[in-house]
Amino acid sequence: MYENFSALILAAGLGKRMKSEMPKVLSEICGKSLLEHVISGLNDAGVKNIGIVTGYKGDTVRNHIGSGYSYYNQEKQLGTAHAVMCAKDFLTDGPVIILCGDAPLIDENTLRAFMDFYCDNDLKLAVLTANLENPLSYGRIIRENGSLKRITEKKDCTKEQLYINEVNSGAYIFDAHCLLDVLGEIGCDNNQNEYYLTDAVELFIKNGLRADAYMCDDPNVVLGANTLADLSECERLMRKKINERHMLNGVKMIDPNTTYIDAGVVIGAGTTLYPNTIINSGSEIGCNNTIISSRISLSKIGSGNFIDTSTLEECEVRDFCRIGPYAHLRPKTLIKNNVKLGNFVEVKNSIIDEKSSAAHLTYVGDGEIGKNVNLGCGVVFANYDGVNKHKTVIGDESFIGCNTNLIAPVKIGSRVLIAAGSTITKDLEDDTFAIARCKETLKKRNKNNEE
């Protein structure tokens, strides 16, 4: 039903009030830019043909968003109608949704309801509105006998109109051909000397074209981010919505207000998240995990794991592992089933096989560790020679004693026992016992504290 809809996103603004050199639409909340959230809402609603009007640092916006979209440039920001004029080649056929690139809370459900309203009422123009207790700077919806008459920007409102609570969201659906017909009639005779797309409403009605306003159930979808305070509020509202969705799917949160989950994260039922847990975009977490005050980024976590106050970045942890507290799993790390990594263990670019353990204070870099291996306290994989990184391999069922240094490249066989305090520089065969220490020397001091 929605395949014939296209969408044009207005994303040319400077965003001066953000106090940033970055284009406003690239400001991020919940792991994505504002513009990406708008695009995601459209894609989820089944709208795939999308055009984007850029302006300030347009190349930066295009490089960030990537290909697959039609881009148009608004060299001077002269209003929303002017932005649409810059993309007139996009207005070819069928209904076109026009959205603001800095309003990230518009979602799939709202868009589908909005499109249904447009189709069911055989309209040529639909305006998405909301009822706000404090309308602030939003344009007011002017109705006559309940029907849409026009939209008036706040700066052009009379004192009486300022008390109207129904506001314009900045989202519209136009018949593309009809919109092209009226764009040339829109002037800039207003307090801002800009070409307002809101003026198209009055022109549609004047020309006898069916136009109406759809008031959505969730007033938050109209919120845009013009300042850092607005950005923070949008993020708070989006995080609340994300958390509620996960909880409905069976994820327990001890305190949702201090649990931070980005858009697009997948979490299985039965997982419990404790306060101050941060899960960034690109992460996938299975069922029945317990995660306490940890940060997980671009990582895949299996099921039945216990992760305590740790950082996991671009890594994979399979099932029934115990991680932390204060462990750090860095990129390109694979932790297989039933592994234990305890206090202050750091693992980077390594594979640790099933039932192996590093209880505390160990660094594993560029390593490959077999099954049932024990790494004692203070084991260090010395993987860097000042120029290149080198690999350390440890076979199954080996025991590496405390404070052992493994100088890579080195290969330790299976069932090897290395005594505490050793420094290993050569390969060890299977079933070897290795001890590499200097002879202990004891000297007593004389009465004058001299050796």
Catalytic positions, written as ranges: 360
Q: How far is CA 73 from CA 11, 44, 79, 258, 333, in A?
A: 10, 26, 13, 40, 43
Cα 179 to Cα 65: distance, rounded to the nearest angstrom: 27
User: How many C-beta neighbours within 10 Å does residue 73 have?
Assistant: 13
231 contacts 225 by C-beta, under 8 angstroms: yes
What amino acid is encoded at 377 in this protein? C
The most distant pair of C-alpha atoms in the chain lies apart, rounded to whole Å, by: 111
168 contacts 198 by C-beta, under 8 angstroms: yes
Cα 210 to Cα 284: distance, rounded to the nearest angstrom: 46
Cα 206 to Cα 209: distance, rounded to the nearest angstrom: 8
What amino acid is encoded at 14 in this protein? L
Cα 348 to Cα 383: distance, rounded to the nearest angstrom: 11
Q: How many Cα atoms within 13 Å fall on the side-chain side of residue 84?
A: 32
